[in-house]
């Protein structure tokens, strides 16, 4: 280090600086406080990552429980004994109801119906926990808040996000929301479904605090989402490294940017909706209550005005990850950079115009037809992306590793998910498919087959960067295959069930559906095993994984110029951008030699 105080020194020459993960001799509590009060986007990203994975686990357990319940239909057998006492068997197990009950008006009855009811209520609570945790606590913050926080500044060549303190603040808002949700779950959860449709959500559970808490949690989490989105938009506008124009940004950044726009524009609407719902629940103000002249369908409009765009909050970042994975691991310039970038914005725009397709059965014909037509529009920018990704692979030198396998799995599964959205968007077919397992299968193909798959793929891709350790490639690939098989077993069957008429959100079904339900449940176990293997692989890598080089995949975007894991201020020098993020044909990747990542010999 020189003692001369030049202005550049503020930015550069921090060679002796260690990784941001280094324990700086703070002791246990010191380290905890260091993390709890950090404004470093990398640490905040890792905290989000931990929380989000925990929520994935929690939601996953609830999901597995739902599937187990569906192994068999609820078979009730009622026999009247000689003395006139009914015996009731549920699933072959006799149920003891004690004695006859007397209702308020004096009539006598046996309360077996209520047992069936309480079994179904438990089921309803389970799928609500599953849905609400997965949507509000896992998938919405997953890629943007965890990977986005970690990578966005690195990819832009910045030292941090625009407002580091605000970033920490939104992490604490997330924690608050998560805590409220968990409290509501510990108190037995709610049975409204993640959509909280009125009038049910304002009537169910006389001791209403759980429903109230759950809605409050979603409301609070919305703030976190808004502030993160706002932070990212400003970061992209104002903190690009010198030399980086808008079209030199990696596509992941474009995707996060488009996502953030949706978060900022759509989330306030769910904010006011949930606020009014809270008023409704606590004070019976009547806005959504038909018995007071209010309008439950208005609630649905408000809800989907947010919740449709939010499905693109889930999928756009995933699409961004796929653009990175495919280009880097096939060493090809991404095909149609601008088309992919603009289609992200296009999707963001169109996503605000299609909410009505969730409520065709609650609207007039004209409105339905218009929403149906607009829904088809979404398919265009989506298809543009898929074609560009496939064209990127063409003649690339494709590496077969975990991130690439996940990217390929994404292409396959997301295409199925997107294409099955079209029959749901078409009026004639949706009347049959609405509220059936077909819808369940559709959104799992896009949310799980799309977002979760991309998230795990991206996690493998950037794992070395985040922790400075390599994971075991063979184990990763094996688990990926298992997840792929398990996923299709679980959810493809549900398409068939749906077309045959199995409704969603039912605890029981007719015997004809049993085989498909059982296959689906077994699939969910494969899926769970696959994820657990990934978890083991990651933990093993943290403890005993070989040290990762700064640029294991030969990537060209700026995060690969940083160390693995990056130093506290990300870069030794403020990077100066001289090449695009996908110029694999002409640039030797940073920290790499030409032998490792040869440039193409012939440029004809």
- 570 phi and psi angles, rounded to 5 deg: 75, -60
User: What minimum distance in Å lies between the beta carbon of 293 and other proteins?
Assistant: 4
In this chain, which residue has its C-beta nearest to ligand HEM? 421
CB nearer to other proteins: give 10 or 80: 10
Instruction: Find residue 88's DSSP bridge partners.
Output: 78, 95
Least distance from C-beta 230 to other proteins, angstroms?
5
Kindly tell me which of 285 and 384 has the beta carbon lying closer to ligand HEM.
384
The answer to the question of residue 434 lying near Cu ion (CB under 5 A) is no
CB of 268 to other proteins, least distance (A): 4
Which C-beta is closer to Cu ion: that of 421 or that of 530? 421
375 binds, among other proteins, Cu ion, ligand HEM, none (CB under 5 to 8 A by kind): ligand HEM
Decide if residue 308 touches Cu ion (CB under 5 A): yes
Among 152, 266, 314, 558, binds ligand HEM (CB under 6 A): 314
| Min CB(437)–Cu ion separation in Å | 17
315 lies in the binding site for ligand HEM (CB under 6 A): yes
Distance of CA 200 to the CA centre of its chain: 27
Report the partner that residue 447 touches, choosing among other proteins, ligand HEM, Cu ion, none (CB closer than 5 to 8 A by kind).
Answer: ligand HEM
Q: Does 375 bind ligand HEM (CB under 6 A)?
A: yes
- The helix (H) or strand (E) run that includes residue 77 is strand 76-80
Distance CA 131, CA 122 (A): 14
Cα angle: 91, vertex 95, 99; to 5 degrees: 155
Specify the residue, 308 or 331, whose C-beta has the smaller distance to Cu ion.
308
Helical residues (DSSP H) of 19-111, grouped into ranges = 27-36, 41-69
Nearest partner of 542 among 2, 46, 33, 16, judged by Cα? 46
CB of 398 to ligand HEM, least distance (A): 26
Which stretch in 193-201, 241-249, 301-309, 332-340 sits in contact with Cu ion by CB under 5 A?
Answer: 301-309
CB 495 within 8 A of CB 436: no
Rounded to the nearest 5°, which phi and psi values hold at 76?
-105, 130
Among 357, 385, 465, 534, binds ligand HEM (CB under 6 A): 357
- Interface with other proteins (CB under 8 A), residue from 160, 191, 324, 563: 160
Assign 3-state DSSP to the chain and report helix, strand, coil percentages, each to 5: 65, 5, 30
Q: What is the nearest approach in angstroms of ligand HEM to the Cβ of residue 135?
A: 7
Please say whether the beta carbons of 479 and 537 come within 8 A.
Answer: yes
158 lines the binding site for other proteins (CB under 8 A): yes
Return the residue of 128, 142, 382, 401 that touches ligand HEM, per CB under 6 A: 382
Burial 38-77 (b: 16+ CB within 10 A, else e): bebbbbbbbbbbebbbebbbbbbebbbbbbebbebbbebe
Distance CA 408, CA 368 (A): 35
Q: Which of residues 289-328 bind other proteins (CB under 8 A)?
A: 289, 292-295, 298, 302
Q: Residue 88, SS3?
A: strand
Backbone angles phi, psi at 245, to 5 degrees: -85, 180
Number of residues that bind ligand HEM (CB under 6 A): 25
C-alpha angle 518/522/523, rounded to 5°?
A: 115
Angle (nearest 5°) at CA 157 between 562 and 549: 15
* Binding of ligand HEM by 141 (CB under 6 A): no
How many positions of this chain bind Cu ion (CB under 5 A)? 1
Evaluate the CA torsion angle 330, 331, 334, 335 in order and state its sign. Answer: negative
For ligand HEM, the closer CB: 194 or 467: 194
- Pattern 416-455, ligand HEM, x by CB under 6 A: --x--xx-xx----x--xx----x--xx--xx--xx----
> In 10 A of CB 586, how many CB atoms?
11
CB of 309 to Cu ion, least distance (A): 9
The three-state secondary structure class of 365 is helix
Contact window for other proteins (CB under 8 A) among 193-201, 270-278, 379-387, 479-487: 270-278
Separation between Cα atoms, residue 501 and residue 488, nearest integer Å: 20
* Residues 6 or more apart in contact with residue 535 via CB below 8 angstroms: none
Using CB under 6 A, which of the segments 177-185, 229-237, 414-422, 556-564 binds ligand HEM? 414-422
The residue ranges that bind Cu ion (CB under 5 A) are 308
Q: Which residues of this protein are in contact with other proteins, per CB under 8 A? A: 10, 158-160, 162-164, 166, 226, 230-231, 233-234, 237-239, 264-265, 267-269, 271-273, 275-276, 279-280, 283-287, 289, 292-295, 298, 302
């Amino acid at each position: 280090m020189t003692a001369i105080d030049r202005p550049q020194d503020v930015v550069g020459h921090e060679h002796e600086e260690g990784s941001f993960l280094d324990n700086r001799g703070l002791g246990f509590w010191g380290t905890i406080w260091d993390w709890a009060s950090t404004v470093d986007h990398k640490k905040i990203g890792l905290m989000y990552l931990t929380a989000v994975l925990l929520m994935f686990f929690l939601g996953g357990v609830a999901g597995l429980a739902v599937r187990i319940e569906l192994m068999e239909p609820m078979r009730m057998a009622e026999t009247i004994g000689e003395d006139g006492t009914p015996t009731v068997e549920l699933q072959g197990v006799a149920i003891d109801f004690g004695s006859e009950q007397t209702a308020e008006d004096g009539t006598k009855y046996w309360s077996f119906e209520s047992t069936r009811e309480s079994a179904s209520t438990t089921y309803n609570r389970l799928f609500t926990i599953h849905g609400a945790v997965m949507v509000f606590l896992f998938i919405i913050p997953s890629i943007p808040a965890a990977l986005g926080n970690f990578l966005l500044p690195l990819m832009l060549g910045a030292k941090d996000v625009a407002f580091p303190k605000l970033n920490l603040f939104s992490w604490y808002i997330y924690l608050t929301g998560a805590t409220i949700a968990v409290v509501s779950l510990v108190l037995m959860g709610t049975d409204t479904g993640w959509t909280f449709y009125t009038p049910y959500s304002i009537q169910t559970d006389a001791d209403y605090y759980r429903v109230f808490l759950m809605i409050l949690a979603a409301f609070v989490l919305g703030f976190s989402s808004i502030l993160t989105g706002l932070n990212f938009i400003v970061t992209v506008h104002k903190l690009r490294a010198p030399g980086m124009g808008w079209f030199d940004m990696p596509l992941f950044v474009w995707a996060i940017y488009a996502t953030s726009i949706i978060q900022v524009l759509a989330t306030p609407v769910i904010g006011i909706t949930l606020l009014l719902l809270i008023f409704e629940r606590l004070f019976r103000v009547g806005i959504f209550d038909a018995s007071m002249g209010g309008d439950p369908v208005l609630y649905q409009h408000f809800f989907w005005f947010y919740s449709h765009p939010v499905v693109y909050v889930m999928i756009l970042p995933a699409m961004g990850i796929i653009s990175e994975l495919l280009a880097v691991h096939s060493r090809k310039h991404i095909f149609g950079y601008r088309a992919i970038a603009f289609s992200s914005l296009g999707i963001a725009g169109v996503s605000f115009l299609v909410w009505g397709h969730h409520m065709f059965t609650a609207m007039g014909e004209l409105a339905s037809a218009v929403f149906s037509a607009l829904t088809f529009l979404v398919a265009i920018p989506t298809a543009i992306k898929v074609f560009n990704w496939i064209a990127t692979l063409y003649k690339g030198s494709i590496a077969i590793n975990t991130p690439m396998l996940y990217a390929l799995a994404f292409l396959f599964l997301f295409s199925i998910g997107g294409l099955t959205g079209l029959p749901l968007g078409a009026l004639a077919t949706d009347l049959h498919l609405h509220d059936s397992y077909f819808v369940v299968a559709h959104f799992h193909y896009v949310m799980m087959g799309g977002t979760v798959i991309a998230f795990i793929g991206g996690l493998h891709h950037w794992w070395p960067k985040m922790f400075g350790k390599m994971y075991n490639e063979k184990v990763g690939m094996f688990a990926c295959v298992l997840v792929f098989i398990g996923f299709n077993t679980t959810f493809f069957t549900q398409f068939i069930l749906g077309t045959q008429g199995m409704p969603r959100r039912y605890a029981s079904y007719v015997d004809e559906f049993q085989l498909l339900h059982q296959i689906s449940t077994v699939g969910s176990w494969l899926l769970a095993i696959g994820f657990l293997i990934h978890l083991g692989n990651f933990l093993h890598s943290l403890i005993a994984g070989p040290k990762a080089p700064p640029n294991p995949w030969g990537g060209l975007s700026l995060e690969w110029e940083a160390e693995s894991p990056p130093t506290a201020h990300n870069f030794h020098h403020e990077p100066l951008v001289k090449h695009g993020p996908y110029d694999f044909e002409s640039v030797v990747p940073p920290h790499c030699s030409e032998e490792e990542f040869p440039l193409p010999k012939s440029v004809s």
